[in-house]
Structure 1
Amino acid sequence: MKKSINPVFLFIFLFWGISVFSQDKKKFSNIDGVMSKIIPDHKIDFWVLVHNSYGKNKEVKISGTKQDYVPQFSGFNLRPGEESFYYIVYSVGGKISYITEIKDLKDFMGKADNVEEAALSAVLEGYMIDEQFVDIAANYYEDSSSYYLDLGKITSKECPYQKTHYTLTVNKSTGVISNVKDNGPYMEVYTKKCPNNPRLLKIEKKEEPKDESKKQPVKKRK
């Protein structure tokens, strides 16, 4: 005799499966892709995202009818250690403005409208989307109320140069970071100048030379 499956049990099992699946982590493609998802907080005529790498400008995204603008020679760097920067050109009421400092990105985005803006809001707080370590510090998952971001942060520029990764919980309604979990360092770079370099600390202890000379008995004069 076959036993019938309890509908309540089946529902719970399916709900659990969907919940687990929904928590599969998704990777941020790259910083260009994250920046391209910005939704301006106010009505604008057009905006252009420009990435300058080693002196060469590249228009990553153009939204609206682009007008002529003056190329900028400075901006905000989202890739530490790389000779590159971003800047944004936008127009409101025919007046062209430029965003070359990262602090001004907050007013341009407003409250986080998507996970990419949530990640950028965290970047404004000192975190980083680490493209070199995507599985550790450039991914996320979400549920109905929050984004859960795995991001990095440079926690030491001294000896050693160190990166630490964190899991940030960002409320979808408010955009506020409600919880930060420290997952520990994931990269440490020591140089020869570091006094705490493990290699330099492994100094072989030299054994004190043993005095193998034997004392000769003093000869008495006859």
Structure 2
Amino acid sequence: MIKKTTRFSIFVFLFLGILAFSQEKKKFSSIPNVLQQIEPNDRVDSWVLVYNSYGKGQEIKTSGGKLSYTPQFSGFNLFPTEDSFYYIAYSQGGKINYVIDVEALKKFVGKIDNAQEAAIVLAADGYIVDEEFKDLAGNYHEDRSNYYLDLGKLTSKECPYQKTHYTLTINKATGITTNVKDNGTYIELYNKKCANNPRLLKIEKKEEPKKDEPKKTTKRK
């Protein structure tokens, strides 16, 4: 009886340990790293991921043989305030194709194979990996059935500018987002042009001098 109890206790502790490990949140290291985890499902002969900054292109991942492609002057981005951009050139059936927007990127990814690809697919719906606030909007965990991603989203470009963070549940088998939890706003910025800026509402009006108040005169010695 004691042996059975001991075995059961060991099993429970092991189970809880595995469960705790599976629930541990992992931060997305960077957007370039997220993009490098792409595993296209369509038959692609070779492809290259290019990062363009100030007109200069840098290949940050190549897969397959050497690819001869034309540099692109526009592309996609997974963070709304970036001035630079990314694009993908790939060879399929002897033809060179380009991925320069998030919808084409979503199609290129195809079936979701990992949490990074889940974040990339969700970028087509406006969700972002916020590298400045990874604890709130740049991490994930997973279990046998789902990916759970904490991502940000720009929810207002007007006054005040704001971002909201969400927890999204993505089914591993279907790639469908089964639940979206709104965790609230984590950035709210006002500027001087905002009519609803709380600071402007607190400006004290200067008191005008009373009309009946006599003027002070200086006496001559």
TM-score (normalizing by structure 1): 0.88
> How many angstroms apart in 2 are the aligned matches of 1:76 and 1:125?
13
The aligned residue for residue 197 of structure 2 is 197
**2:172 aligned with 1:172:** yes
> How many angstroms apart in 2 are the aligned matches of 1:168 and 1:177?
7
Letter in 2 for 1:195: A
Question: Aligned to 2:132, what secondary structure does the other structure show?
Answer: helix
**2:67 aligned with 1:67:** yes
> How many angstroms apart in 1 are the aligned matches of 2:144 and 2:201?
50
8 Å CA contact 2:47–2:67 kept in 1: the answer is: no
**2:51 aligned with 1:47:** no
Shift of 1:10: 2.8
My pick for the range that moved more, 8-17 or 83-92, is 8-17
8 Å CA contact 1:41–1:107 kept in 2: the answer is: no
> How many angstroms apart in 2 are the aligned matches of 1:201 and 1:111?
51
Tell me the C-alpha RMSD between the 2 structures.
Answer: 2.2
Question: Aligned to 2:18, what secondary structure does the other structure show?
Answer: helix
8 Å CA contact 2:102–2:123 kept in 1: the answer is: no
**2:32 aligned with 1:32:** yes
8 Å CA contact 2:67–2:90 kept in 1: the answer is: no
Give the gaps of 5 or more residues in structure 1.
214-222
Matches within 5 A, 1:1-222: 6-204=6-204
Question: Aligned to 1:131, what secondary structure does the other structure show?
Answer: coil
Letter in 2 for 1:116: Q
> How many angstroms apart in 2 are the aligned matches of 1:79 and 1:58?
18
Identity within the alignment, %: 63
Give the gaps of 5 or more residues in structure 2.
214-221
Number of residues of Structure 1 aligned to a counterpart in Structure 2 = 211
Question: Aligned to 1:132, what secondary structure does the other structure show?
Answer: coil
Instruction: Output one character per residue of 1:148-192: Cα deviation in whole Å (capped at 9) or x when no partner.
Output: 000000000000110000000000000110001111011111100
> How many angstroms apart in 1 are the aligned matches of 2:164 and 2:120?
18
Shift of 1:207: 8.6
> How many angstroms apart in 2 are the aligned matches of 1:205 and 1:22?
59
Letter in 2 for 1:158: E
Q: Which of structures 1 and 2 has the bigger CA Rg?
A: 1
TM-score (normalizing by structure 2): 0.88
After the TM superposition, list the runs of 4 or more consecutive aligned residues in structure 1 that deviate by more than 6 angstroms.
205-210
> How many angstroms apart in 1 are the aligned matches of 2:209 and 2:173?
73
Shift of 1:79: 2.2
Shift of 1:7: 2.2
8 Å CA contact 2:130–2:137 kept in 1: the answer is: yes
